[in-house]
Amino acid sequence: MVPVETSSVSRANCSIMDIRASLSPPIHFRETDTMRLIPLFKTTLLTASLLSLSACGDGDKTETVDEVPGPEASEDADGIDTPIAGGGTVLNDPTPRFLTMACGAMPIADIRSSSSASAPAVFTTDTVVNGRVDPESGSNTVNYWSVDLQPGFYHLVQDATRLDGRNANLGLEFTDVSGPDAEASPLLLSSNELGFHIRDHVFLEIEQARTMTIQVTPRFGAEDYAFGLFSNGTAVPSPFFDDCPTITPLSLGTTEALTLPLSQEVDDQKWYSIDLDAQDYVLSSTATRTDGTDRNIIYSSDYGSQFGKTSRFEQISRVNELGITRADNSGALRPSEAGEVWIRLRSSTELNVEFTLQPEN
């Protein structure tokens, strides 16, 4: 008999099993968060296993919501930005390019999602599709999509929102189920974040022309989602595909003034965007209570990049002062690469805020 090659693979629940090696063409995954976890690793079935093990090590982020909540609202500013490595679609370029266009600038394709593995919905690269999944539904617990791919490098980008509209855990799993063995299917992307509306992203390489069938599975209940597979160098609507926050263009050295409401709904957060170089900046802010009372002042600011990936948002500052009417604060932004940056402000009390962003001296 011919010996059967097996690999040890971890399931999403962290249990271990031995399975037959996958017959699907291999996929290379690229870690793009400044290569902070693993510089560059090649994936067949075994690499998908490593990703699952890494997720198991981190554990699910199921938490209660912080006193200062999380993302969005409706509209955007400028068009396309130039990220690292310049512009233009280049499928054979292994350097990830983060070109963006305005949220809502690319219409969502009129393609109905499918809950049938044998009849997946068909879409094309460089388009946005959407769907809805509910683990407690009778017939729509997962969705299936099919796409023809040429060899090269792609960005898989996804957004998700909860059907109940809460600021709570959100997450989806995108799995390549093209192979003959479902248990050996590589996990392409697994998201798990807190927020009203989240975005996740992975950079990957397809070695040879193939048709990929993608299974979309919810992790935390009923969710709406949108996603696309974009050729490297294609501009991607950011920081979301639709349900766009109102994003105000920001200029260095210019003081912005606003009323920051109590963050109870998605529209209560304030968004700004600016193109920055890879250097240090300082955001200085002053906040006063709108009711003039001598009580708590609580608000925060953070910033993100790379298509607005939720997990890349880093805190600039967080103020929690008691028994005052005015708070002065400053915090640092340290982008790791040139490109578009989004700044978010959120509050647990209604405040009048002024802030200025400028290079650090």
Give residue-wise pLDDT tens across range 36-54: 332 333 333 333 333 333 3
**What pLDDT sits at residue 22?**
38
**Identity of residue 268:** D
pLDDT at 26: 52
Q: How far apart are CA 142 and CA 146, in angstroms?
A: 14
Q: Identify the pLDDT of residue 275.
A: 95
Q: Which two tokens stand for residue 31?
A: 């870690």
Reading the block at residue 354, the tokens are: 């002024």
Q: What pLDDT is recorded for position 182? A: 64
Q: Where do the domains of the chain lie, and which CATH numbers do they carry?
A: 22-59+82-238 (2.60.120.380), 247-359 (2.60.120.380)
In Å, what is the CA distance from 251 to each residue of 215, 272, 274, 305, 352? 42, 10, 7, 17, 20
- In tens, the pLDDT along 233-262 reads 999 999 999 999 999 999 999 999 999 998
- Beta sheet of 172-176, edge-to-edge order: 121-122, 143-149, 210-218, 172-176, 187-190
In 3D space, the residue among 252, 230, 226 whose CA is nearest the CA of residue 240 turns out to be 226
DSSP 3-state assignment of 83? coil
Residue 4's pLDDT is what? 37
| Length of the chain in terms of residues written | 361
Tokens of 328: 């002065």
The pLDDT of residue 6:
37
Nearest to 147 by CA among 220, 76, 231: 231
Question: pTM to 2 decimals?
Answer: 0.74
Q: What residue type is assigned to position 75 of the chain?
A: E
Give the count of alpha carbons within 13 A of 159, CB side only: 26
Residues with pLDDT less than 70, the chain: 1-89, 182-183
Segments of 120-222 assigned E as strands: 121-122, 129-133, 143-149, 152-162, 168-170, 172-176, 187-190, 193-195, 197-206, 210-218
Residues 6 or more apart whose Cβ sits within 8 Å of residue 157: 199, 200, 201, 227, 228, 230, 236, 307
Measure the CA–CA gap between 320 and 348, rounded to whole angstroms: 9
Q: What pLDDT, on a 0 to 100 scale, did the predictor assign at position 181?
A: 72
User: By 3-state DSSP, what share of the chain in percent is helix, strand and coil, each rounded to 5?
Assistant: 5, 45, 45
